Amino acid sequence: MAVRVGITTGDPNGIGPEVVLKALAQFDRSADVEFVWFADPVLIADQAAALGLPVLSVPCVWPLPAVDWAFGRGTSASGQAALDSLNLALDAWRAGQIDAMVTPPLSKEHVPLPGFTGHTGYLAHAAGGEALMMLRGAELTVALATEHMALADVRGALSADLVLRKLRALDSALRQDYGVASPRLALLALNPHAGDGGRIGPDEQTWLAEALDTAGHEGLDVQGPFAADGFFAARSYRRFDATLALYHDQGLIPFKMLAFHDGVNCTAGLDLVRTSPDHGTAWDLAGQGLADQGSMLAALGTAVEVVKNRHKTR
């Protein structure tokens, strides 16, 4: 049985269509996968011609008006096209027409939807579940307790309960989606030097300690909280199957340094299988034909891997 993967457009003015075209050209078709692209076929053909890329025989679904596009600048129209494509893919998933969704980058700034903070939150609301933003690379897997949130709001959003829920979701995703029989998890600290025994904040000795204690009693293998700078500098992440960071840049800076060209953003914790490349729209590269497709190629492969692993555990 073929795995059916739906690909969204992302923002058509960025590098999304380019990296999809390049990745599909390289994808191993012996893997028994069927692709469908929720994109305006005229737009794809025109961009392929502009970039000197072949148009592939992947069906495009776009029961909507033609999309106006221009390389290198996000607009309300390009943001609307990205949102329309995402909704078409969601409808197909709900109807059982696709098994997984792969989402090229969009610009949150240009999506004309109040309160839109990105794919993860939008898909969590649409599909239900404890959504977990998890990024996987060859050397490091990192998940986030909080995602696209102002740093000033992070501490108010964090709690023992939230961290515990994210640890559970991370443990479950590693088992169900990636075949890790006994996940080993690391938890990062909030304060510098893990609070220095309470001298630089009490968090590590209070609610973070509570979360760790409860996780241990539930049978989760979690260690920490580790001071993030020393943890990454000493490559301690190699001793664990995944690391839970407490806020966006704490986890994403080291991840992108290690896995920018092959890292994958995975939304775990949902019935929906969704992956994405770990980069943005790259306005400055759009239209030049220079975008690297490695992360998109990895996102396609990871989506197929997760679907197959979930079938095995059912």
Does one domain contain both 208 and 224?
yes
Q: Enter the tokens of residue 139.
A: 């050397």
d(CA 45, CA 208): 52
CATH number of residue 244's parent domain: 3.40.718.10
Task: Please write the tens of the pLDDT for every residue from 88-99.
Answer: 999 999 999 999
pLDDT of res. 312: 85
Sheet of 264-268: strands edge to edge?
Answer: 33-37, 3-7, 100-102, 273-277, 264-268, 132-136, 141-144, 242-245, 184-188, 221-226
pLDDT of res. 57: 83
Cα dihedral 195, 198, 201, 202, rounded to 10, equals 110
Going by C-beta distance under 8 Å and a sequence separation of 6 or more, which residues neighbour residue 103? 7, 8, 10, 86, 89, 119, 274, 275, 276
Does one domain contain both 221 and 292?
no
d(CA 203, CA 242): 22
pLDDT of res. 49: 95
| Count of C-beta atoms within a 10 Å radius of residue 293 | 22
Q: What angle do CA 301, 304, 305 make, to 5 degrees?
A: 85
Q: DSSP assignment, residue 278?
A: S
Q: Collapsing DSSP states into helix, strand and coil, what is residue 263?
A: coil
Give which of 271, 248, 252, 268 is closest to 260, Cα–Cα.
252
Give which of 265, 221, 270, 227 is closest to 241, Cα–Cα.
221
Q: DSSP assignment, residue 67?
A: P
Does one domain contain both 65 and 178?
no
3-state DSSP: the chain helix, strand, coil percent, rounded to 5? 45, 15, 40
Give which of 74, 57, 84, 139 is closest to 108, Cα–Cα.
74
Does one domain contain both 139 and 115?
no
pLDDT of res. 292: 95
pLDDT of res. 40: 97
Does one domain contain both 145 and 261?
yes
> Of 252, 269, 286, which residue sits at a domain end?
269
Does one domain contain both 84 and 155?
no
Does one domain contain both 148 and 62?
no
Give which of 135, 145, 139, 138 is closest to 245, Cα–Cα.
145
Does one domain contain both 113 and 146?
no
Does one domain contain both 150 and 209?
yes
CB 75 within 8 A of CB 13: yes
Going by C-beta distance under 8 Å and a sequence separation of 6 or more, which residues neighbour residue 75? 13, 110
Does one domain contain both 94 and 213?
no
pLDDT of res. 29: 73
Give which of 173, 172, 189, 178 is closest to 251, Cα–Cα.
189
> Model pTM?
0.92
Number of domains in the chain: 2
pLDDT of res. 129: 78
Domain hosting 181: range is: 131-269
Q: Enter the tokens of residue 67.
A: 């999309």
Q: Enter the tokens of residue 298.
A: 């990895």
pLDDT of res. 102: 98
Q: What is the pLDDT along the chain (314 residues), one digit of tens a residue?
A: 799 999 999 999 999 999 999 999 999 877 789 999 999 999 999 999 999 999 888 999 999 999 999 999 999 999 999 999 999 999 999 999 999 999 999 999 999 999 898 898 899 888 877 789 999 999 999 999 999 889 999 999 999 999 999 999 999 999 999 999 999 999 999 999 999 999 999 999 999 999 999 999 999 999 999 999 999 999 999 999 999 999 999 999 999 999 888 899 999 999 999 999 989 999 999 999 999 999 999 999 999 999 999 988 76
Does one domain contain both 117 and 166?
no
Does one domain contain both 39 and 97?
yes
Give me the phi and psi of 274, to 5 degrees please: -135, 130
What is the residue-averaged pLDDT of the chain?
94
CB 280 within 8 A of CB 72: no
